[in-house]
Amino acid sequence: MKKEDCFFLGKIVKKYSFKGEILVKLDTDEPEIYDGLDSVFVDLKGHLVPFFIEHAQLHKSELLRIKFEDVDTEADVDSIMKSNLYLPLEFLPKLDDDKFYYHEIIGFTIEDVNFGQVGIITGVNDSTAQALFEIDRNGIEILIPMNDHFIKKVDKVNKTITVETPEGLIDLYLEE
């Protein structure tokens, strides 16, 4: 399994017991859907390794308590501590037509109601206060905020997102 075929589920943050249990901080708004998992991939030195789960249950709000098969001691837990956990993309819950996961819109065309075709989405920058579409327009990078007020239509079939940006926003990137 390759990382690009998976999504980040969470990170092992601490030991829970002396019997090999761990606590995972989940990266999700709906932690309850991951209660009772059978297996996950653990990133060990850049390789995704499958780990089978004896039991998993929610612990407080966003933590998942997991007991892996064959992880029975503190030393076993120490060897995987702070590792990231992944699941295959097909485990992601289906979203409504107007909602999307960042990874699935790469390659979509962005069209602006007033400007016309802007370019192709090459990525999403979510390291800022507001996530940004990263768009390539013939070698020029254009950044458009992923604001619900700007996004007018998401057409997954035709791989197009229609936006209505403030006047002049796109032109800022195109001026010499």
Residue 14 structural domain: 3-89
CA dihedral 139, 106, 103, 152 (to 10 degrees): 110
Instruction: Select from 45, 61, 89 the last residue of a domain.
Output: 89
E strands, 5-88, in order: 6-15, 21-26, 39-44, 47-59, 63-68, 84-88
Residue 60 has pLDDT above 80, yes or no: no
Question: Which tokens hold the place of 29?
Answer: 């708004």
What pLDDT score was predicted for residue 129? 87
What is the CATH number for 63? 2.40.30.60
Residue 62 has pLDDT above 80, yes or no: no
Q: 65-82, pLDDT tens digit by residue?
A: 999 999 998 899 999 999
In a domain, 97, yes or no: no
pLDDT mean over 18-36: 86
Q: 119-168, pLDDT tens digit by residue?
A: 999 999 988 889 999 999 999 999 999 998 999 999 999 999 999 999 99
In the chain, how many domains are there? 2
pTM above 0.85, yes or no: no
Instruction: Select from 66, 89, 112 the last residue of a domain.
Output: 89
What is the CATH number for 124? 2.30.30.240
